[in-house]
Amino acid sequence: MTLAPAQRLPLLGLLGAVPLVGCLACIDVDLGGSTTTADPTNSSATTGDPSTGDGDGDPGDGDGDPGDGDPGTTGSDETIIELVPQQTLTDAGPSQVVQAVALSPAGDRVVAAMGANRVVVFSLADASASTVHTIGGGDLFEAGAAVWGAKGFAVGTFSSCLVFDAAGSLAHELPDRCSYLAVSADGETLVRTTTDAVATVGFESGLVTASAPMVSPSGLGFDGERVHVLENDGEFTIGSRTLPNLDGAQTHAIDVRSLFGGPLRGTLRYAEAKLWSDFTGSPVSLVTEGLEDQKALAVSEDRRWAASVGFAAGIHLYDAATGQHLAQATLDTANAGGLGFDASADRLVAGSNTGVAVFGIIETPAQN
């Protein structure tokens, strides 16, 4: 099976971001045992037009350093990459702050955990909105805890995991805090955390099929065969278990603060972001020099792009193979959560303080 990830954002300064979404900065990927790290001073990794910059890595020379802003360029300078705002999805509710988002597999709808305790489904075609559920006044959404698979979607709260069918009707309300979620590629298996365990659940039946104890789960990754949980027993480690019985325990002594993603998993440690295909190998580090601490990270299904959002503002796009910073856009994320790509990897959605922000990833030939 292949993951459709959705993880929550850590509850550091949020309340409470995943798949699908989901998150967030160095990223490392195992490339035959070597480590690939994009160097903002290395003009061979990504350089701007030589007629407009000296290629020395200074801000403004188009070399992929975050200081260059949006747009960025690919390594060959044949393509310019831009994050272009397309729309902000809102409804008539009293609060537009978004805590979690997930895109439907078809890429035509978005579910959002919104202010005033509402679960809202938006159409990307006409921006229409439908409130499908309202959680109790004493409950709160978990930041980033939303996922949408082939059988429906799920949203995590401080007291339960809410499972909805494909039509948006509440099918199951699974007890215990649900901070992190993932779903299998076929939509049959939901992976969730509780306060002290990780469990697999039949999406349609709502029945727990396997469970394993975990110490203070603080992040979730799922690659279709193994479940990876960031544990915190005073020191952060990543514990891995194998489906279907969640056995074959392995522990990886990797000091991070957040864990996201599927086959290509992302970790965050303040402003350090890394991508891993194997926790025993070397990761790819994302170029985040000069950025604030990042709180959510997502990787596109085709593993081409990675994205992150900051604790206060800004959304960033990277080359997932090299870690190069490609583009950035302004976004108010101070109290918001949620981040994810659509299946075609040409759109990116993120929760903001003013609704669900939808960005297009636009590639255009560079002008010589």
Among left, alpha and beta (phi > 0; psi -120 to 50; other), residue 287 is: beta
Residue 51 has a pLDDT of 30
Q: Is the peptide bond before 71 cis (omega within 30 degrees of 0)?
A: yes
Contact status, residue 271 vs residue 24, Cβ threshold 8 Å = no
Residue 28 has a pLDDT of 33
In angstroms, the CA 225 to CA 28 distance is 21
- Angle of CA points 49, 27, 147, to nearest 5°: 110
Residue 18 has a pLDDT of 36
Residue 14 has a pLDDT of 32
In angstroms, the CA 367 to CA 350 distance is 30
Contact status, residue 262 vs residue 5, Cβ threshold 8 Å = yes
Of how many residues is the chain composed?
A: 368
Cα 134 from chain centroid (whole Å): 24
Contact status, residue 359 vs residue 329, Cβ threshold 8 Å = yes
Q: In the sheet that 129-134 helps form, which strands lie side by side, from edge to edge?
A: 98-103, 109-114, 118-123, 129-134
Question: Which has the closest alpha carbon to 299: 35, 68, 25?
Answer: 25
Residue 9 has a pLDDT of 35
Residue 183 has a pLDDT of 96
- Angle of CA points 241, 28, 338, to nearest 5°: 70
CATH number given to 3-34+65-365:
2.130.10.10
Domain boundaries, the chain: 3-34+65-365
List of residues 6+ apart from 73 with CB closer than 8 A: 46, 47, 48, 49, 62, 64, 79, 80, 81, 326, 366
The DSSP bridge pattern shows strands 152-157 and 141-149 to be antiparallel
Residue 263 has a pLDDT of 86
Q: What is the mean pLDDT of each run of 10 residues along the chain (368 residues)?
A: 39 34 33 36 32 34 43 65 97 96 96 97 97 96 97 98 97 98 96 98 98 96 95 94 96 95 92 94 95 95 95 95 96 95 95 97 86
Among left, alpha and beta (phi > 0; psi -120 to 50; other), residue 229 is: beta
Residue 100 has a pLDDT of 98
Greatest CA separation for the chain? 62
Three-state SS letters, 57-91: CCCCCCCCCHHHCCCEECCCCCEEEEEEEEEEECC
